[in-house]
Amino acid sequence: MHEMALSSAVAATVEKHAKGRPVKVVNLTIGKLRQVVPDSLLFYFDIVTRDTLMQGAQLKIEIVPARLHCTGCGERWEPDFPTFRCPACVTGVVEVLSGEEFQVESIEVEEDEVCTAPK
């Protein structure tokens, strides 16, 4: 259900910025440490945006690699899974350089359509 909640959060953010315009594309940045399953996110996004201005919008997901830094020995590495123990000195305090992002970077909306209605 993790992705369901995230999809709702994304939809709420996009809706706010779309200001009533139909949304075509949503560009999303997700850090690897978030452990989001993109396919699952796409699946739920389709559900939560059904019958809204975002229906059928394309969700483009960019995954940011996780990068950690040990403040004890200066080691930097990219973990394949969330582990916060320095592989070099083990005892150092580890800080996250990247990988915790979860952000709607931008959206693309339908431009105002030419009004064809009779005046």
Select the residue interacting with Zn ion from 88, 102, 103, 108 (CB under 5 A): 88
Distance (Å, rounded) from C-alpha 59 to C-alpha 75? 35
> Based on the number of CB atoms within 10 Å of its own CB, is 95 exposed (0-12), middle (13-18) or buried (19 or more)?
exposed
**Residue 75 in the binding site for Zn ion (CB under 5 A):** yes
Restricting to residues 35-64, which ones interact with Zn ion according to CB under 5 A? none
Count of positions on this chain that bind Zn ion (CB under 5 A): 8
16: left (phi over 0), alpha (psi -120 to 50) or beta: alpha
**Residue 77 in the binding site for Zn ion (CB under 5 A):** no
Task: Determine the Cα angle at 50 with ends 45 and 52, to 5°.
Answer: 105
Shortest CB 77 distance to Zn ion, Å: 9
Q: State residue 102 phi and psi, 5-degree precision.
A: -155, 100
* Contact assessment for residue 34 and residue 65, using Cβ atoms and an 8 Å cutoff: no
**Residue 93 in the binding site for Zn ion (CB under 5 A):** no
**Residue 73 in the binding site for Zn ion (CB under 5 A):** yes
Select the residue interacting with Zn ion from 22, 38, 82, 92 (CB under 5 A): 92
Q: Which region among 10-18, 21-29, 66-74, 97-105 touches Zn ion (by CB under 5 A)?
A: 66-74
Give the interface with Zn ion as residue ranges (CB under 5 A). 70, 72-73, 75, 86, 88-89, 92
